[in-house]
Structure 1
Amino acid sequence: MKAIWNGKTIAESDDTIVIEGNHYFPANAVNKEFLKESETNTVCPWKGTASYYTLEVNDNVNKDAVWYYPETKEAAKPIEGRLAFWKGVEVVQ
């Protein structure tokens, strides 16, 4: 699987976990040069508190387009520390 935005491959891995239609990529499969820390957090009742990154590619910004759970609740342990994408980031095979 690949996560692509603004013509750049942000992540690529054969080891994604799909939950609720979202592919969660291993952290080491993500090109961190495109990620900028975000102060945003949201809470999922069964997964826990999500943190976010903003994507910056070729001077284009996609705020909070990447999320992850640094520490999950027990039911979501398989995705702990993995990253997922939305807001126009294309995830393809």
Structure 2
Amino acid sequence: MLASCSKKPDACFTIEKGIPSSKINDDVQVNAACSTDADSYLWEWGDGASDTGSTAKHKYNAAGTFTIKLTAKGNDRSATTSRQVTIVQ
């Protein structure tokens, strides 16, 4: 029996547009280039919407504080991280 030596992915992302706050219907852009050992990405925007890919953008249609969650998957394993963004009117 062989043991697996595959690495668990490291989930990391930057918010490239929309920090420290963004307005309703402005793009919030995220990038997972700092993640390692991942081959797929799932973004959850905190308002019920989601996207895939190493980069994504989203428009919020309401004001509030939302948690953006990234799940990075690779080597049959996954890792998650999250950050908050504030949307103002």
TM-score in terms of structure 1 length: 0.30
Which structure shows the bigger proportion of residues in helix conformation?
A: 1
Q: Which has the larger radius of gyration?
A: 2
